[in-house]
Structure 1
């Protein structure tokens, strides 16, 4: 699915990129504090460092800002994963490395991730479908890593289980953010990652590893 076209009166794409990055940072701070619906575009403009008139040169509506926030968060998560996953790791260690990397990225972007999941429902249908498609892509990334391991070691695991494992990895990463008020009283990130990895990979951990 193609990105939603966000209207801009400015033709300089480098400037558009810069200003929208400022908007995203400003909007995230406000959405965390007040929520999407209670935040005004005037407040977003002020928090971003420019006037309301300038804001509307780069977007068409407040919903456009929310879409840019959601898109930027997914791009940041995916970019950091691509950079940090240990491609030299093999066997079960590659899977554990991917999970640990994902959890670290979510920890680093916890406020942004929380805002995205709380407020994405306010997006127009076209933009929401795009954001949900990005979620599917994230799930498929883990699905690919699991499937490669399963095929390499000839493990008898159904396709349904592989898909469910992939979804569960994403959900447990999110839980570190959504239930941080309780989880972080019990575990460090490293402890949480170790326990969740054992749980998430249980369907294949009993098989001979390399």
Structure 2
């Protein structure tokens, strides 16, 4: 799935990057408050610090802004996760470390993740396919760690179980954001990581 090409009347790549970063930050704030459909491009331009005319020099439509938001968030989550994944641990400890890393990254970017999942359904089909592929790529990072634990004999899982286990881990990470009104009232992040890791691994470890 190819990256969507967002039109721009400006040729300076550094300026495009700077202006689009401003748009993304502004859009996340507004989409969180009002949702994608109730937010206007004029409001995004104002929140970004420039005129509506300037905004349209860097994008072609409001859907382009939503695409840029989702694309940027996935990239940031993936990059932060890669940096947090440690190579200093082996075996089942590597999976525990990966779970903690993922949960901490989601905590760092919880507003962005919430907006992305709430609003990505409004993307055009082609752009949505590209964004969903990034989700699959991120899940694959967790899958690879689980698969390594299987190879080392720490887990006894079939291939389809590995995939589902990775999905379960991702869902539990997102729950910290999606149900934060309830979950974060009852647990600190460290408590949540500890309890969820225990629950997840209890169902995976070889008996």
Which whole-Å CA distance do the structure 1 matches of 2:11 and 2:200 have between them?
47
Structure 1 residues 178, 70: CA separation in 2 closer, same or farther (over 3 Å shift)?
Answer: same
Which whole-Å CA distance do the structure 1 matches of 2:94 and 2:38 have between them?
43
Which whole-Å CA distance do the structure 2 matches of 1:76 and 1:180 have between them?
21
State the partner residue of 1:28: 28
State the partner residue of 1:190: 190
Question: 3-state DSSP class of the match of 2:72?
Answer: helix
Q: 1:78·1:138 contact (CA, 8 Å) conserved in 2?
A: yes
Structure 1 residues 170, 88: CA separation in 2 closer, same or farther (over 3 Å shift)?
Answer: same
Which whole-Å CA distance do the structure 1 matches of 2:154 and 2:104 have between them?
30
1:88-99 correspondence runs (5 A)? 88-99=88-99
State the partner residue of 1:156: 156
How far 1:87 sits from its partner (Å)? 1.4
State the partner residue of 1:8: 8
What is the TM-score normalised by the length of structure 1? 0.95
RMSD over aligned Cα atoms = 1.1
Question: 3-state DSSP class of the match of 1:201?
Answer: helix
Which whole-Å CA distance do the structure 2 matches of 1:94 and 1:3 have between them?
32
Is 1:178 the counterpart of 2:178 in the alignment? yes
Which whole-Å CA distance do the structure 2 matches of 1:28 and 1:203 have between them?
36
Q: 1:8·1:57 contact (CA, 8 Å) conserved in 2?
A: yes
How far 1:201 sits from its partner (Å)? 2.1
Gaps of at least 5 residues in structure 1 are none
Paired positions, count:
207
Which whole-Å CA distance do the structure 1 matches of 2:157 and 2:203 have between them?
8
Gaps of at least 5 residues in structure 2 are none
Is 1:147 the counterpart of 2:147 in the alignment? yes
How far 1:154 sits from its partner (Å)? 6.3
Question: 3-state DSSP class of the match of 2:185?
Answer: coil
What is the TM-score normalised by the length of structure 2? 0.97
